[in-house]
Amino acid sequence: MRIGIVCYPTYGGSGVVATELGIALASKGHQIHFITYRRPARLTGFHKSIYYHEVSPIDYPLFDYSPYDSALASKLVDVVLHEKLDLVHVHYAIPHATVGYLAKMILRSKGVHLPIVTTLHGTDITIVGNDPSYAPVVEFGINESDGVTAVSQQLKDSTLDQFSITRDIEVIPNFIDFRRFNRKNKAHFRKAITPNGEFIVMHTSNFRKVKRVDNVIRVFHGISKKVPAKLLLVGDGPERNNLEILCRELKICEDVIFLGKQDAIEELLAISDLFILPSESESFGLSALEALACEVPVISSDIGGLPEVITDGFCGYMKAPDDIEGMTEAALSILSSPAKLKEFRKNALTQAKKFDIEKIIPIYEDHYKRVVERSRVTLKKES
Ligand code: GMT
């Protein structure tokens, strides 16, 4: 198939999923066209059958905000017409689902049919999507899509709860590529970071309030009082300054390493002993899955789609997002028992295998086939 993919090209989870999906589909013989305002962060190197089309809204003194939606719709129309795409898959509903609809209507006026698949990722439904400034547009975009998927059952349920949805939503979880995420032997790297054999605790995110990185630091503070440990904080974002202040207050600056944004997350996970993700809202938690795939047990909050990713007491523990004491105890119960750490690491890999990319890509392919077939039937009926 010839498939267009629209996503945010940043380090966010939805962009990562969209990019990995495109790469995997291309390796199965599909032709993939990324349509976005910057080359996606994970789309590096040359890939046969992958094309990138840049959306460049023009600057004009009249605009305080350049109209990205119009520029994206125009680019979609152009790419669909010239590359003869079979469908466009948009990731993150805002504004992509409605822009997809707009492009579809423009193409219809030219006698071309374009099915749109929308994947809901999380904040496009929760924190951002249900805000009155976007909600009607989100609901319309979902209902007008030809196929809709959500990354967890919990996200599907919350979409149905908050909006009047007339479309079926198929749950297709995030996935992991074990060729990239696995426990490589990085002993030399580990020795460089922890020359005295300390445990390595890790967290990665966009350091937004919702991720509760402050609680990662508080839990780590409790851990480091009992066992020697270092905390690797990967990523960056609006909370960074507050987090540095908190580390100073707790007097743990020496043991907390802010690494900034990193491309080779798998190399850091490969030397980690524990991953902490105490988010207030998380539709799936791709970073937790990446940790599990690298045999790193996870301590997380028990909210959103996380219980679909982590099995409590098997490959990690889940507590309320503010239960610092509970998370600290759970972390220590794993780190202070070599046998438990070994067992949880093995279980982490078993759990991650449920989300193997090889299992999930065919589900997307099947979804596409059904959407294209259904659109053909509808089109026939209409003409
Ligand atoms: O975590 C973020 O804020 C980024 C966000 C995104 O859309 O880029 O991530 C969401 O999508 C990921 C991929 O499907 C999910 O694994 C994350 O759980 C989800 N984040 C939230 O729901 C907060």
The reply to whether 93 and 223 lie within a common domain is no
Q: Is residue 376 part of a domain?
A: yes
**Which pLDDT does position 299 carry in this prediction?**
98
Give the whole-angstrom CA distance, residue 78 versus residue 12: 27
Give me Rg for the CA atoms of the chain: 22
Ligand 1 pocket, residue 175 CB under 6 Å: no
Give me ligand 1 centre to Cα 124, in Å: 9
The reply to whether 191 and 294 lie within a common domain is yes
Q: Which amino acid is at 235?
A: G
- The predicted model gives 104-127 an average pLDDT of 95
Per-residue model confidence as pLDDT tens digits over 182-191: 998 888 889 9
What DSSP letter does each residue of 344-359 carry, written as one string?
HHHHHHHHHGGGBHHH
Per-residue model confidence as pLDDT tens digits over 316-371: 999 999 999 999 999 999 999 999 999 999 999 999 999 999 999 999 999 999 99
pTM: 0.94
The reply to whether 251 and 334 lie within a common domain is yes
The reply to whether 261 and 119 lie within a common domain is no
**Which pLDDT does position 34 carry in this prediction?**
98
Ligand 1 pocket, residue 9 CB under 6 Å: no
Mutational test site, ligand 1, from 171, 284, 287, max ligand atoms within 8 Å of CB: 284
**Which pLDDT does position 188 carry in this prediction?**
87
- The predicted model gives 234-248 an average pLDDT of 97
Using the atom order of ligand 1, give the atom closest to the CA of residue 305.
18
Ligand 1 pocket, residue 282 CB under 6 Å: yes
- Closest by CA position to 68, among listed 37, 91, 35: 37
Using the atom order of ligand 1, give the atom closest to the CA of residue 91.
7
- 3-state secondary structure string, 46-76? CCCCEEEEECCCCCCCCCCCCCHHHHHHHHH
Sheet of 2-6: strand order equals 50-54, 31-36, 2-6, 87-91, 116-120, 147-150, 170-171
**Which pLDDT does position 4 carry in this prediction?**
98
The reply to whether 216 and 85 lie within a common domain is no
Ligand 1 pocket, residue 36 CB under 6 Å: no
Give the whole-angstrom CA distance, residue 253 versus residue 341: 26
Using the atom order of ligand 1, give the atom closest to the CA of residue 8.
8
Using the atom order of ligand 1, give the atom closest to the CA of residue 282.
22
The reply to whether 67 and 140 lie within a common domain is yes
Q: Whose CA is nearest to atom 3 of ligand 1?
A: 12
Residues 6+ apart with CB under 8 A from 236: 206, 207, 260, 261
Ligand 1 pocket, residue 283 CB under 6 Å: yes
Q: With a cut of 80, say whether residue 36 has pLDDT above it.
A: yes
3-state secondary structure of 325: helix
Q: Is residue 181 part of a domain?
A: no
Give me ligand 1 centre to Cα 121, in Å: 6
The reply to whether 243 and 150 lie within a common domain is no
Ligand 1 pocket, residue 122 CB under 6 Å: yes
Per-residue model confidence as pLDDT tens digits over 63-81: 999 999 999 999 999 999 9
Q: Which amino acid is at 66?
A: S
The reply to whether 342 and 319 lie within a common domain is yes
Q: Is residue 182 part of a domain?
A: no
Band of residue 382 on the pLDDT scale cut at 50, 70, 90: confident
Give me ligand 1 centre to Cα 208, in Å: 11
- What are the helix (H) ranges across 163-197? 187-193
- Closest by CA position to 89, among listed 140, 39, 22: 22
3-state secondary structure of 284: coil
Q: With a cut of 80, say whether residue 383 has pLDDT above it.
A: no
- What are the helix (H) ranges across the chain? 13-27, 68-83, 93-108, 135-143, 153-162, 187-193, 213-226, 240-250, 265-269, 286-293, 306-309, 324-335, 338-352, 357-382
3-state secondary structure of 93: helix
The reply to whether 323 and 197 lie within a common domain is yes
Give the whole-angstrom CA distance, residue 242 versus residue 236: 12
Q: Is residue 180 part of a domain?
A: no
Q: With a cut of 90, say whether residue 267 has pLDDT above it.
A: yes
Q: Is residue 331 part of a domain?
A: yes
Band of residue 11 on the pLDDT scale cut at 50, 70, 90: confident
**Which pLDDT does position 129 carry in this prediction?**
86
Give me ligand 1 centre to Cα 284, in Å: 7
The reply to whether 169 and 198 lie within a common domain is no
Mutational test site, ligand 1, from 283, 289, 298, 300, max ligand atoms within 8 Å of CB: 283
Give the whole-angstrom CA distance, residue 234 versus residue 238: 14
Per-residue model confidence as pLDDT tens digits over 152-167: 999 999 999 999 999 9
Ligand 1 pocket, residue 12 CB under 6 Å: yes
**Which pLDDT does position 323 carry in this prediction?**
98
Q: Can you give the CATH number for the domain in which 70 is found?
A: 3.40.50.2000
Give me ligand 1 centre to Cα 123, in Å: 7
Q: How confident is the prediction for the chain on average, in pLDDT?
A: 96
The reply to whether 132 and 216 lie within a common domain is no
Q: Is residue 169 part of a domain?
A: yes
Mutational test site, ligand 1, from 213, 282, 357, max ligand atoms within 8 Å of CB: 282
Lowest-confidence range among 94-108, 124-138, 350-364? 124-138
3-state secondary structure of 148: strand
Give the whole-angstrom CA distance, residue 139 versus residue 297: 37
The reply to whether 198 and 95 lie within a common domain is no
Ligand 1 pocket, residue 300 CB under 6 Å: no
Give the whole-angstrom CA distance, residue 55 versus residue 307: 37
Q: How many domains does the chain have?
A: 2
Q: Percent of the chain scored above 70 by pLDDT?
A: 100
- The predicted model gives 261-290 an average pLDDT of 96
Band of residue 249 on the pLDDT scale cut at 50, 70, 90: very high
Per-residue model confidence as pLDDT tens digits over 290-308: 999 999 999 999 999 999 9
Give the whole-angstrom CA distance, residue 303 versus residue 288: 13
Residue 67, domain extent: 2-175+357-382
